[in-house]
Structure 1
Amino acid sequence: MIPLLLALWPLFALIVAGYVLRRQGFPSEAFWPGAERLNYFILFPALLFNSLATAPLDNPALPRLAGAVLLGLALVWVALLVIRRLRAWPAARFGAMAQGGLRFNTYLGLAAVGSLFGQEGLALAALMLALMVPTVNVMSVWALTAERGVSARSLLLPILKNPLILACLAGALVNFAGFGLPGGSDRLLGLLAAASLPLGLLCVGAALQPRELSGEIPALGWNSALRLLAVPLLAYGVARLLALPSMETSILVLFFALPTAPTAYVLTRQLNGDSHLMAGIITLQTLLAAASLPLVLTLLGS
């Protein structure tokens, strides 16, 4: 437990710092939206591209890891559909609940993997993201629009334009082609990547909205328990079923134990979902993850 806490507490300290800085108006309110865009479109794609362009893609466990990711997401999705049927949720509410159960804080996940497993772990995590990001985005859009219908174009076009997906694809292509990263480009990408995760965690903290925690305590509580406790337990079972090696198991459980993504709030507002509930889910899960993440990883022996 102590090594995990030593690896993870600086990440949550950055989240808290981001919250405090924004509430103090530093450096300015206009800084944070620009910082988020810089990270989303430039710095974070550079990290993913760099990780995949240099990753050892001959790992024999990769097919099983990919299967575990997709099977885990499918099982969570089926469970959410069953709960929706039992509770008769409208799409606006189901979309928020589904994103609370499915989506994950990518910045926190990669920062944690980097702290615990180094560059080798980051490469595996980037490969997982190449599968998880498009799958979870399709599920999230469908959940928010199920009642009024959605076209294949509106589901797939945002994914095809997603800079994270494009960076993963480009990095994998460079890797398979054997080009490498010549002429100091690896150093440039490394510098961009190094700035991504600290800035991303500060932005996560800046986006927290504690005032949204009032009013729906039972729904917020069980959704957080589902995401932070039940889902990683399910991922651990899938990893054991597919006989994943130790590092792959740990990274799979870690990503399935992460709090939901702050960007879920933006998507929920765009698609007329319950943005008040979504903001509360994001805030509570992020706060609880400071305790649940090291606890889950320790108890599951990951």
Structure 2
Amino acid sequence: MPNILSIIVPVFAIIGTGYFLAKRDFLPKDSLPMLSKLVLFCLIPALNFGTIARMKLEDVLVWDFLGVYAIGALLAQLVAVLVFKGWFGNSTTEAAIKALGVSMPNSIFVGFPVVTQAFGPEWGHTFMFAVIIENIVTLPSVLIMAELGNSQHGKGANLGLVLTGILQRLFRNPIIISMTLGLMVSASGLSLPEAISKPLSVLGSAAPALALLVIGGSLVGTEMRGNLRELGTVSAIKLLVHPLMIVLVLLVWPAVDPMIMALLIVYAALPSAAIFPIIGGQYGQRDFCASSLALTTLASFFSLALVLSLVLTLVV
């Protein structure tokens, strides 16, 4: 079995380096959005396209992964809504935003590097499966719930507009576009010439380290703002309950490959997605969401170590 610290420490060392560089202004805070765009609009799409184009079509679409991941995310959302509405007395909209924080992991910026370290680069592309579900199930379900909550107070947007916005986001998402193009090449049976595949490989290899530096830099200046019990509850559901929901689904899902099982649990154990504060800001919860993102990112050092120590026994 791989040494767990040899997997976790390099990842969080790079996050810590990003924090140090931003804190000392070697990596200016105002440069982080541009670097994030570089990762999301160039490096990750290059990795996506190059990887999928080389794969057989039947190896790209892993339906077990997509199905289990979607149901696990929805169950985590259900737990969050019940807890935050029933226990903390949150409104439907407030509970919906917290449900996003517990069900949408940072599969790109943290998941890809962690999976590559833990399972090898040949499994790095699986973050794309997570991205598919996050964009067509996890995020839309939360936005619809939040707007339904707002509509109860006369503030909700037209649901038709919300759905239209979701579709536009999907069709404009460079990760989804690159994945679609890669699927087309894979289905055609054609091989990419080296003049194309090599630059794609070089660009893709830069994605993990830069993504982690950006995550670290984004933690600079973040303070714990909001109800500490609620912050702790979001972190606990995200890092512990979400993986548990995946395990429960796997118990009733027929014949899932052990490697896919391990990957699903690890993705669910990741900290909240980087867009959590952005979405939360649209509903007046940016500070809480930013604090929650920082807390889940820091706490995930311990939860990921625990989860990896358990799931790696499935595949060794």
TM-score, structure 2 normalization: 0.87
Deviations 1:161-209 (A, max 9, x none): 1111112222122211222222421111111101111111100111115
Residue in 2 that maps onto 1:134: 136
Matching residue of 1:296: 307
Letter in 1 for 2:218: A
Q: Give the corresponding residue for 1:6.
A: 6
Structure 1 equivalent of residue 90 of structure 2: 89
1:174 paired with 2:185, answer yes
- The Cα shift of 1:216 comes to 1.8
Structure 1 residues 36, 211: CA separation in 2 closer, same or farther (over 3 Å shift)? closer
**Partner SS for 2:284:** coil
Aligned-pair CA distance for 1:24: 0.8
Residue 230 (structure 1) aligned to one of 241, 245, 250: 241
Corresponding residue of 1:65: 65
Is 1:99 the counterpart of 2:100 in the alignment? yes
Q: Judge which range, 224-233 or 162-171, deviates more.
A: 162-171
Identity, % of aligned positions = 26
Q: After the TM superposition, which of the residue ranges 278-287 and 88-97 deviates more from structure 2?
A: 88-97
- SS in structure 2 at match of 1:259: coil
| Equivalence for 1:184 | 195
Counterpart amino acid of 1:10? Answer: P
Change in 2 beyond 3 A, CA 1:119/1:55: farther
Q: Which moved more, 1:153-162 or 1:288-297?
A: 153-162
Q: Cα–Cα, structure 1 residues 61 and 157, in superposed 2: closer, same or farther, change >3 Å?
A: closer
Shift of 1:274: 0.6
- Paired with 2:165 and 2:89, the residues of 1 have a C-alpha distance of 25
1:195 and 2:206 are equivalent in the alignment: yes
Look up the match of 2:76: 76
Question: Matched residue of 1:109: which SS?
Answer: helix
| Residue 257 (structure 2) pairs with residue 245 (structure 1) | yes
The one-letter code matched in structure 1 to 2:134 is: M
Match of 1:265 among 254, 277, 289: 277
Alignment partner of 1:165 is 2:167 = no
Equivalent residue runs for 1:147-162 within 5 Å: 147=150, 148-149=156-157, 150-151=159-160, 152-162=163-173
Query: What displacement does 1:78 show?
Result: 2.7
Give per-residue Cα distances to partners, 1:6-58, cap 9 Å, x unaligned. 01211111111111111111143442222111111111111122222223432
8 Å Cα contact 2:96/2:146 also seen in 1: yes
Measure the CA separation in 2 of the matches of 1:162 and 1:272.
Answer: 22
Preserved CA contact (<8 Å) 2:47 2:201: yes
Question: Which residue in the other structure is 2:153 paired with?
Answer: none
The letter for the 2-side match of 1:123 is H
Report if aligned partners of 1:61, 1:245 keep a CA contact under 8 Å in 2: no
Contact 1:96 1:277 in 2 (8 A): no
Q: Kindly provide the amino acid, as one letter, of the partner of residue 246 in structure 1.
A: P
Point out where structure 2 has 5 or more consecutive residues left out of the alignment: 151-155
1:10/1:60 CA distance change after superposition, 3 Å: closer
Q: Give the AA of the match of 1:67.
A: G
The 3-state SS of whatever aligns with 2:166 is helix
After superposition, the CA RMSD in angstroms is 2.2
Does the 8 A contact of 1:95 with 1:273 survive in 2?
Answer: no
The one-letter code matched in structure 2 to 1:207 is: S
Provide the aligned length of Structure 1 versus Structure 2.
301
Q: Is the 8 A contact 1:51 1:126 kept in 2?
A: no
- Conservation of the 8 A alpha-carbon contact between 1:92 and 1:273: no
Say whether the 8 Å CA contact 1:102–1:136 is kept in structure 2. yes
Q: Which region of structure 1 is more displaced relative to structure 2, 146-155 or 98-107? A: 146-155
Aligned residues of 2:29 and 2:218 also touching (Cα < 8 A) = no
Say if 2:219 is the partner of 1:208: yes
